[in-house]
Structure 1
Amino acid sequence: MRCASRACVLGLLLAGARVAAGPPDAAGPLPPATEQRYAGAIEALRRGDPEPALGAFAAADRLLPVADYLGYLRVEALLRSDDLAGARRAAEALAARFPDGRVGRAALLLAAQLAARAGEEPRATALLRRYLLNNAESPDTPEALYLLAASFETQGARENAAHTYRELTLLAPASEYAAGAEDRLQALAQAGVTLPPLAPADQLARAERLLRAGVADEARAAAAQVASTTSDRDLAVRALGVTASALARQRRYEAAAAVLEEALARAPDDGRPALALERGRLLYRADKSREALAALEGVDDSQEAEAAEAEYLRGLVQEDTGQLAEAALAWERTVARYPGREIAASALWRLGWLAYLAHDWPGAADRWTRLRELAGGQRYRTPAAYWAGRAREQLGARAEAARLFEGVRSEAPRGYYGILAAARLPDKPPAPPSPPVELPRDPARALGADPDVVRIEMLRRLGLP
């Protein structure tokens, strides 16, 4: 098995890496002479000379904040000295001491690879299983699965190997290791190792992972295959949803809407409002306004969240087609029926703009003032206050407008609307500043005792920034 992790982690160590949590009990600062010796050993290792690292890091304080990094560099020095057995023992010990850290996980993976290189496949298998048991969500899980399958294959356990290769193709179908696993599965099949067909649910789970990874074409094909072959209605509807999502990722909105039309025909009653709403969205994005409005008619009041979104979207479609009166009615219904939902705030925001652009200054001011009071209107609070002030200006209520602008400037003095509001306020002496926050002369001192900062600073001084 190849030592990909070794090269990767060594590169992180020697070129600079993101710092993970250090040992729980850190020793004090290194004496300057020791620090210089460690830095010199790291530089020598960069140049290809492992001897200084072997001497320096063998006796490194186990409580140092960077003990895991120094331990991994010692493993690398042993490897460069061709002491594979010593490197493996050191890697296993390092993994045992730091099981939850990034460096400890890399050491465990490296120990498994070194065991395999030494022909100790059962030990490699045990180490890889331990890695997968404790690090199922690690970015290196696909590599560990591939190495485990290869270890099974080397030991003649070809069926176990095939199952593990398949698991890799299911859990990480977009990874480079999945492509290699597919090749090995084909080779094992030619050698007579056959696996039962994947269950439709597993096929669909794979398609969903492909979609999350951005492999839309393959996800669409896999999901469409499930939809066309399964007799499970719920699974078929879910598969059609994945197919539509993949098409939407490719901006094929009309095609995606057609797939959802098929899903609607097969979906249970309680699942139809969400599908109809999504179909309406897709048709709207495809510039099919008439069809979008027709699709939204399929969203009834049985599901409040979908009904609220559909009413708001209906207003957007009508606004885009110049039906401003109809759009206003749709948004008024959204606010009246669903005042506690965030979408009601969006509807009231749009109503304010319809009024403002029609020079209905009282209507605009009223809507934007109401918007600030809605439970779901928090994200509109500042812009609504600013534009309510602008509407008050148009009405000649300059004192009220100034009060609103002052509130915006106070809430967001350096924000977009705060700057705009300040420009519309009459000149006046600035308010007395708040007492300044007391900071030490050297701001770094405020963090000086933080364990992570201590660790970062020590890595920087050792030449591992």
Structure 2
Amino acid sequence: GSLRARGWYATARCRIELKDFPLAFLALDALDQDSGRPAEWTADLLMLRAAALDQGGAPEQAWPLFRRLWVEFPTSPPAGQAEALILGPDSERFVAAGVAPVITEQDRLDRVDRLLGQAAYSRALREIEPLIEAEVSPEQEAALRWRRAKALSGLRRYSAAAAEYERIFKLSGESDVEAAYQMARTWDRMDRQHQARAAYQEVWTRFPQSDQARWSLFSAGRAHQLDLEHEEASRLFELLVFTYPGPEPADEALFQLGWMRYLDRRYPEALAFFQQVPLRPQDAAFNARALYWQARAWDRMGRAEPAQALRQELVEQYPDSAYSYLARHFAGLALLPWPPPAGGSPPGALTQGPLDLGVVENLISLGLVLDAREEVSWQERRGATFSPAAALQISRAFLAAGEYFLAQRRVQLSFGPRLASYQAPDRELWELAYPWAFPEAVSQQSARAALDPRLVLALIRAESTYRPTIRSSAGALGLMQIMPATGRRIARSLEERNFETERLQEPELNIRFGCYHLRQLLDRYRIRTGRSASPSAADLILALAAYNAGERRVEEWRRRFEKFHLGPDEFIEQIPFSETRTYVKRVLAFYQIYSLLYPQL
């Protein structure tokens, strides 16, 4: 299996070091024929073959491989080595060998595209600049500026990105609808609503038959809505519903029409719109939201009976949603016994006897978890499929080894549709998908910060899916995704000596810092809202929004919507940033699931 592939890989490296190139090529050929080899090895294998050819006296055969490395794998370490060989002083060797070491403009464009695809935006931007400065046709310039705009957007340099999209639009003779749409979206991201609305209007009035027109109409309506211009927002949403009927975004426009009437305390009208929102197949969060706000509209109208009936339907149909959490905390609904208690009969496919997985289980039992993971991946790449019993056995083994990400991933891959449709009644499947991860650190640090450990686990799942060494594109690190600056501030507060940023990838320290940070946010909002008791679900919603978007923005949003006297659940829907709005709902949904699975706490 995978061990044999790794053996060939090690053999190739050793034979090249020993200048034994025939045996090196034998090992590399064996790897080329192994369909189970990891894709991430491709760059290393190219480098090994190119080095063997170069050192073995065939630089003319090595050159195309070095060039391919530089173009197709620009972020890999071998690409840096290849660059030094083909673009540095050593490139003269290839000339002497009769090779014309030419990097074409298309090579450079392909390399930039791969840098963009791998989110290496700074490097992509540096390599685009000289290409733009060269003399090119208007069509070529537009293509280059598209790449530059993407890099600038990835770096969150939105003002410069908007200027690029405007240039592209003009270069196209004002016919490129996607450039106009992206310019509007970029203004929107900068919270420059006046420019965004004007740009969105340009799209739907000039290009009414395009796909971007309906989304521009929706986004313009949403911009007016967030600026509290409900009359104009309603006009645009109604125009969208009648002009572009069907699914997205017309169904979302229907909800927003109801939502604005709800905020304006026109509850019968709000209810009528909420009831018109069509349910989406396979979108539990969308459907749960419609049910929840129908219930809240009935509440506001003083009709407790239909409101309670809708909430009961909500928690039965969508028990693991954020809206079930809200119904439980703000309407007093009790936790339902879901999934069935431990010890219930699993589905038939899971009642099979132990499956002999041989190498995988032995590797895990020896503590060689990464080798076990690679063996599983190797078998999958070769086309193997796992029976439900095998998948369950693998997940159990990873869980026992403390590899929580791998345990839940295997369950999600094998049982995802059943979990999503709540057709997996076995509690063990849910406990593997939502494990009690890092039990000692979570228990100790949550107790130290006076937090519910289930909340801490929900946040860990939302932030990192239990991966201790993960690093976000913004630089946040570890299980609870602590930014380096936040980590340094917390280290000073906790008098943590010898703190270095990389230590945020240590599970115990990251959980301690994350719990401390969340506890501080909860306490601040408890004080600001005047509640003297321990932090409530209302404080939690504000704290989670601040954990994701920052306290300054949360305070700005609260001031902006102060006239509506929003309740905590209403505040969630009004959060302007879709990323933060989704994040808060995700954490609450995961908290709901952990509360259902581990109610004894």
User: Structure 2 length as normaliser, TM-score?
Assistant: 0.54
Contact between 2:328 and 2:334, CA under 8 Å: does it hold in 1? no
Report the CA distance between 1:449 and its aligned residue: 2.7
Contact between 2:74 and 2:115, CA under 8 Å: does it hold in 1? yes
Task: Give 2:92's match in structure 1, choosing from 160, 167, 190.
Answer: 190
The CA distance in 2 between the partners of 1:261 and 1:432, in whole Å, is 53
Contact between 2:292 and 2:323, CA under 8 Å: does it hold in 1? yes
Report the CA distance between 1:359 and its aligned residue: 0.3
**Match of residue 71 from structure 2:** 170
Question: Aligned in 2, Cα 1:447/1:175: closer, same or farther, shift over 3 Å?
Answer: farther
- Per-residue CA deviations over 1:212-252 (Å, capped at 9, x if unaligned) read 32321210122344444474665543332221111112111
- Per-residue CA deviations over 1:93-150 (Å, capped at 9, x if unaligned) read xxxxx4xxx3233222222223324433134235435535656861111111111111
Task: Give 2:149's match in structure 1, choosing from 244, 248, 262.
Answer: 244
Contact between 1:227 and 1:237, CA under 8 Å: does it hold in 2? no
| Structure of higher CA gyration radius | 1
Report the CA distance between 1:314 and its aligned residue: 0.8
**Match of residue 218 from structure 1:** 123
Q: Percent identity?
A: 25
The one-letter code of the counterpart of 1:294 is A
- Per-residue CA deviations over 1:5-25 (Å, capped at 9, x if unaligned) read xxxxxxxxxxxxxxxxxxxxx
Task: Give 1:155's match in structure 2, choosing from 45, 56, 66.
Answer: 56
**Match of residue 262 from structure 1:** 167
Segment of structure 1 superposing worse, 170-179 or 122-131: 122-131
**Match of residue 535 from structure 2:** none
The one-letter code of the counterpart of 1:113 is R
Aligned pairs, number: 361
Contact between 1:405 and 1:422, CA under 8 Å: does it hold in 2? no
The CA distance in 2 between the partners of 1:391 and 1:232, in whole Å, is 58
The CA distance in 2 between the partners of 1:338 and 1:250, in whole Å, is 34
The one-letter code of the counterpart of 2:10 is L
The CA distance in 1 between the partners of 2:159 and 2:52, in whole Å, is 48
Contact between 2:280 and 2:287, CA under 8 Å: does it hold in 1? no
The CA distance in 1 between the partners of 2:301 and 2:100, in whole Å, is 77
The CA distance in 2 between the partners of 1:266 and 1:392, in whole Å, is 54
The one-letter code of the counterpart of 2:53 is F
Question: Aligned in 2, Cα 1:427/1:246: closer, same or farther, shift over 3 Å?
Answer: closer
Segment of structure 1 superposing worse, 428-437 or 374-383: 428-437
The CA distance in 2 between the partners of 1:437 and 1:207, in whole Å, is 55
Question: Aligned in 2, Cα 1:294/1:130: closer, same or farther, shift over 3 Å?
Answer: farther
Provide the alpha-carbon RMSD of the alignment: 3.5
Contact between 1:248 and 1:256, CA under 8 Å: does it hold in 2? yes
The CA distance in 1 between the partners of 2:200 and 2:231, in whole Å, is 18
SS at match of 1:335: helix
Q: 1:458 and 2:458 equivalent?
A: no
Task: Give 1:305's match in structure 2, choosing from 206, 211, 215.
Answer: 211
Q: 1:416 and 2:416 equivalent?
A: no
Report the CA distance between 1:269 and its aligned residue: 7.6
Question: Aligned in 2, Cα 1:376/1:348: closer, same or farther, shift over 3 Å?
Answer: farther
The CA distance in 2 between the partners of 1:108 and 1:420, in whole Å, is 55
SS at match of 1:342: coil
Report the CA distance between 1:173 and its aligned residue: 0.5
Contact between 1:173 and 1:209, CA under 8 Å: does it hold in 2? yes
**Match of residue 66 from structure 1:** none
Question: Aligned in 2, Cα 1:406/1:333: closer, same or farther, shift over 3 Å?
Answer: same
The CA distance in 1 between the partners of 2:302 and 2:356, in whole Å, is 59
SS at match of 1:140: helix
Please identify runs of 4+ aligned residues in structure 1 that moved more than 6 A.
374-377, 424-437
**Match of residue 315 from structure 1:** 221
The CA distance in 2 between the partners of 1:413 and 1:236, in whole Å, is 52
Contact between 2:285 and 2:321, CA under 8 Å: does it hold in 1? no
Question: Aligned in 2, Cα 1:137/1:260: closer, same or farther, shift over 3 Å?
Answer: farther
Question: Aligned in 2, Cα 1:165/1:290: closer, same or farther, shift over 3 Å?
Answer: same
Report the CA distance between 1:427 and its aligned residue: 8.4
The CA distance in 2 between the partners of 1:431 and 1:244, in whole Å, is 51
Contact between 1:372 and 1:380, CA under 8 Å: does it hold in 2? no
Report the CA distance between 1:325 and its aligned residue: 1.4
Segment of structure 1 superposing worse, 105-114 or 296-305: 296-305
The one-letter code of the counterpart of 2:72 is L
Question: Aligned in 2, Cα 1:292/1:133: closer, same or farther, shift over 3 Å?
Answer: farther
SS at match of 1:251: coil
Please, which runs of 5 or more residues in structure 1 have no aligned partner? 1-97
Contact between 1:253 and 1:285, CA under 8 Å: does it hold in 2? yes
Q: 1:294 and 2:194 equivalent?
A: no
Question: Aligned in 2, Cα 1:428/1:133: closer, same or farther, shift over 3 Å?
Answer: closer
User: Structure 1 length as normaliser, TM-score?
Assistant: 0.68
Please, which runs of 5 or more residues in structure 2 have no aligned partner? 370-601
Larger RCO (CA under 8 A, 6+ residues apart): 1
The one-letter code of the counterpart of 1:119 is K
The CA distance in 2 between the partners of 1:321 and 1:369, in whole Å, is 26
Question: Aligned in 2, Cα 1:303/1:439: closer, same or farther, shift over 3 Å?
Answer: same
The CA distance in 2 between the partners of 1:239 and 1:104, in whole Å, is 45
Segment of structure 1 superposing worse, 403-412 or 340-349: 340-349
Contact between 1:372 and 1:385, CA under 8 Å: does it hold in 2? no
**Match of residue 188 from structure 2:** 284
**Match of residue 116 from structure 1:** 16
Contact between 1:340 and 1:374, CA under 8 Å: does it hold in 2? no
**Match of residue 82 from structure 2:** 181
**Match of residue 107 from structure 2:** 202
The CA distance in 1 between the partners of 2:333 and 2:144, in whole Å, is 62
Task: Give 2:313's match in structure 1, choosing from 404, 407, 419.
Answer: 407
Q: 1:381 and 2:287 equivalent?
A: yes
Report the CA distance between 1:376 and its aligned residue: 9.7
Contact between 2:46 and 2:65, CA under 8 Å: does it hold in 1? yes
Segment of structure 1 superposing worse, 126-135 or 245-254: 126-135
**Match of residue 68 from structure 1:** none
